[in-house]
Structure 1
Amino acid sequence: MRTPRLEIEYCTQCRWLLRAGWTAQELLTTFTTELGEVALIPGTGGVFDVRIDGETVWSRKEQEGFPDLAVLKQLVRDRVAPERSLGHTDRKHS
């Protein structure tokens, strides 16, 4: 297994595969050399969780919604490349 491993577990009942795939694509485009692999994991029960090496970065149930992509990129960056600037994505979001 290549590390760090980012997992996106998504609800198949809710048909969130496209959202999970788009999120994975955006993260792979941003973190071209920092991520070892990205896995899409089918789940049920309204799950949409993002984990890095087993640690939850975002949980739709805990945060009561889907992540704003800019916020998710910052959370991932803070774990895989904390010294890296994300340019305009680093601006504060309200």
Structure 2
Amino acid sequence: MKPTITIEYCPRCGWMLRAAYMAQELLGTFTEDINGVLLKPAAIGGAYTISVNEMVVYDRKERGGFPEIKELKQLVRDVVNPEKNLGHSDKTER
């Protein structure tokens, strides 16, 4: 079964649009590789985590900010389809 990406965001912080933008980018890049992207309002203030199934690939509180789309695509790719070429969004060194 294809994995589901969950973006959990703090609605009180106004991060829903950021989460929707990231969801759009991930859906466009991983159309064939994922089941979908779930936007989930967080119960904890300031939360912004991105996970593939139950595995957290990005946590704003741990990293001290938000990921760039290029970085996020690389993190998700490394879990859902490590062989996928991301073109211009790919790492320069592998």
Identity of matched residues, %? 48
Q: Which runs of 5+ in 2 are unaligned?
A: none
TM-score using structure 1 length: 0.92
Task: Give CA deviations for 1:44-80 in whole Å, capped at 9, x if unaligned.
Answer: 4111100001110000000000001100000000111
Off by >2 Å, runs of 4+ in structure 1: none
**1:6 & 1:91 partners in 2: Cα distance?**
21
Alpha-carbon shift at residue 37 of structure 1 (Å): 1.6
Using structure 2 for the length normalisation, give the TM-score.
0.92
Deviation at 1:91? Answer: 3.7
The count of residues paired between Structure 1 and Structure 2 equals: 91
Tell me the C-alpha RMSD between the 2 structures: 1.1
- What is the CA–CA distance in structure 2 between the aligned matches of 1:37 and 1:30, rounded to whole Å? 11
Aligned to 2:61: 61
Alignment of 1:16-31 (within 5 A): 16-31=15-30
- Match of 2:89, as an amino acid? T
CA distance in 2, matches of 1:3, 1:46: 29
